[in-house]
A and B are shown apart, each in its own frame.
Chain A
């Protein structure tokens, strides 16, 4: 099967301009495909995360931006006493931009010991003790650190909030890597906040056998007539609701992904058709020598597959490198979607380029294999 590989490769070399243009076109399309898929993965991960289905978020009723939600902090006490509730974390959220943004900074202030027990943070620099020892200490997600070029020991100011970076972390929940964690009381007292005694939201952890919806309804019912009414949803729902507008947009981006696949198909098919038409006579000669029509077909399909796979791998590689170095994320109303490279993404991209390559070769391949030898030999060239 592989004895004709040198012939294929030398054929590419003989038409290197054409081959290179096809490969680079495919690479660009797959780069975009990769990007689009990463955006979608990010959204999916956020809303379908298992943990997110079993954790509740209590927010002020009818409020969306974190700056406008103010819950009395002592709500925690009552909620903690409800059946099936295993823990309540009061969280103060501060963001520099409530609208959709690619460079939103989101601070979450919470009690240090709760942060440590509820989040699986893996510190790549700095330490917990440094964080706990500094009033203005902050643990910065890897993605923010990359984007803003932050490292341990640096001071960092945004929206009048100045923090000291005491650690940089990675998290299995990639969206977390776009957050900056601080102490709760620090963020409540920060300049321009003046919100001691209130928090933005509460995160409620439940026992495994809890009836999630029932607990949510109980909380909301209890505060309906209280000083501040609440809306309680699962974390996944909360994030999905918050990002609803963005999600719609992202859903639309989906089509961009399909368009990329179509583009590659058209591009590789065009190149293959051209290359087959250039070599009708050559294929006649090969058949005269004794290559079966079937083999001619396979040679042509291999040719288109090699081209699109080479371009695909290049584009996916570039896409993954780009995604991991830029730590890109989109945030709205304090919730972030991170675009992360992943093995799944690489595999999907690779499969797409192989399948598209095969499809692109089928019709020209059949044409070449069906052409009568004597007709082919009569062609000029």
Chain B
């Protein structure tokens, strides 16, 4: 089933006289249960694409349909509501709220959804268990290691069972061993929880755990078909 449809999306920045076009008429389809990795040179527009799909950045032109809704047409308020129930965002630096405990950070997205306190509690516990941090629930971000913080960040992204989880270089700030743990965790999120994942990364090894590998070059997307061939993705 097609979950996300990126249709002829262009992103331009006017920089004085000059215009930069990181994304030029880009097309992409993401299916339910996919795990996509998005690679590309620095400054190629990976974060921009990811952010537009996550509904936190605006397209210059084109459409992004998620489960049939064109999110580029939603008002800021409606879009926020849509994100609350449909998107989990994993940042490069965890971006936890420093004054809240791990538990409270994970609970935050649920405060926006209609559910009982008991249901909320249960969901937070499940999410913390999934990232194996039940024993750190009452710790503050400053009391945790970088890897632990990132796991809390992942728990926060999945706690509301979003339609789509996006991650922008989730292992960019971590050492090799921690990177491995996080990647394993992301794979479990995809395999065991069945969530659709879109991950931007610079790391080839990281990209290989994904089911589909996409590259962004000079404003266009290509998908790796086999060991050595890439095919440009064009409008369906």
A: which residues have CB within 8 A of B? 3-4, 6-7, 10-11, 13-14, 281-282, 285-295, 372-374, 377
Give the complex CA separation of A295 and B112 in angstroms.
11
CB atoms of B112 and A14 under 8 A apart: no
Contacts of B51 in A (CB 8 A): 373-374
Tier of interface size on chain B: 20 to 34
CB atoms of A14 and B80 under 8 A apart: no
Contacts of A377 in B (CB 8 A): 56, 91, 95
Known contacts A4-B111, A285-B91; A290 and B80 CB within 8 A of each other? yes
Q: List 8 A-B contacts (CB under 8 A).
A: A10-B100, A289-B84, A289-B108, A291-B84, A291-B112, A293-B77, A293-B80, A377-B56
Instruction: Tell me if A's interface is mostly helix, strand, loop or mixed.
Output: helix
Contacts of A285 in B (CB 8 A): 91, 95, 97
* B217 sits at the interface (CB 8 A): no
CB atoms of B77 and A290 under 8 A apart: no
CB atoms of A3 and B111 under 8 A apart: yes
Contacts of A291 in B (CB 8 A): 80, 84, 112
CB atoms of A281 and B95 under 8 A apart: yes
CB atoms of A14 and B85 under 8 A apart: no
CB atoms of B97 and A290 under 8 A apart: no
CB atoms of B54 and A290 under 8 A apart: no
CB atoms of A287 and B111 under 8 A apart: no
Residue of B nearest to A376 (CB): B56
Contact with A along B95-138 (1 / 0, CB 8 A): 10111100010001101100000000000000000000000000
Give the complex CA separation of A374 and B53 in angstroms.
13
B: which residues have CB within 8 A of A? 51, 54, 56-57, 76-77, 80-85, 87, 89, 91, 95, 97-100, 104, 108-109, 111-112, 156
CB atoms of A373 and B108 under 8 A apart: no
Known contacts A373-B57, A374-B57; A289 and B99 CB within 8 A of each other? no
Residue of A nearest to B113 (CB): A290
Give the complex CA separation of A95 and B13 in angstroms.
82
Contacts of A6 in B (CB 8 A): 104
5 residue pairs, one from A and one from B, having the closest CB atoms: A290-B84, A14-B99, A292-B80, A373-B56, A10-B99
Known contacts A6-B104, A288-B54; A11 and B80 CB within 8 A of each other? no
Known contacts A281-B95, A289-B83, A293-B76; A7 and B109 CB within 8 A of each other? no
Instruction: Tell me if B's interface is mostly helix, strand, loop or mixed.
Output: helix
Q: How far is the CB of A276 from chain B (nearest CB, A)?
A: 15
Q: How far is the CB of A20 from chain B (nearest CB, A)?
A: 16
Contacts of A4 in B (CB 8 A): 111
Contacts of B89 in A (CB 8 A): 288-289
A13 contacts which of B84, B95, B99 (Cβ < 8 Å)?
B99
Q: How far is the CB of B80 from chain A (nearest CB, A)?
A: 4
CB atoms of B99 and A290 under 8 A apart: no
Contacts of A372 in B (CB 8 A): 57
Q: How far is the CB of A278 from chain B (nearest CB, A)?
A: 10
CB atoms of A292 and B104 under 8 A apart: no
Residue of A nearest to B83 (CB): A290
Known contacts A6-B104, A11-B99; A292 and B111 CB within 8 A of each other? no
Residue of A nearest to B166 (CB): A288
Give the complex CA separation of A17 and B216 in angstroms.
48
CB atoms of B77 and A292 under 8 A apart: yes
Contacts of A288 in B (CB 8 A): 54, 56, 83, 89
Contacts of A287 in B (CB 8 A): 56, 80
Q: Which of A10, A14, A290 gathers the greatest number of chain B CB atoms within 10 Å? A: A290
Residue of A nearest to B162 (CB): A290
Q: How far is the CB of B168 from chain A (nearest CB, A)?
A: 9
Q: A7-B97, A290-B112 are in contact. List 17 more A-B contacts (CB 8 A).
A: A7-B99, A7-B100, A7-B104, A10-B100, A285-B95, A287-B80, A289-B109, A289-B112, A291-B84, A292-B76, A292-B80, A293-B76, A372-B57, A373-B56, A373-B57, A377-B56, A377-B91
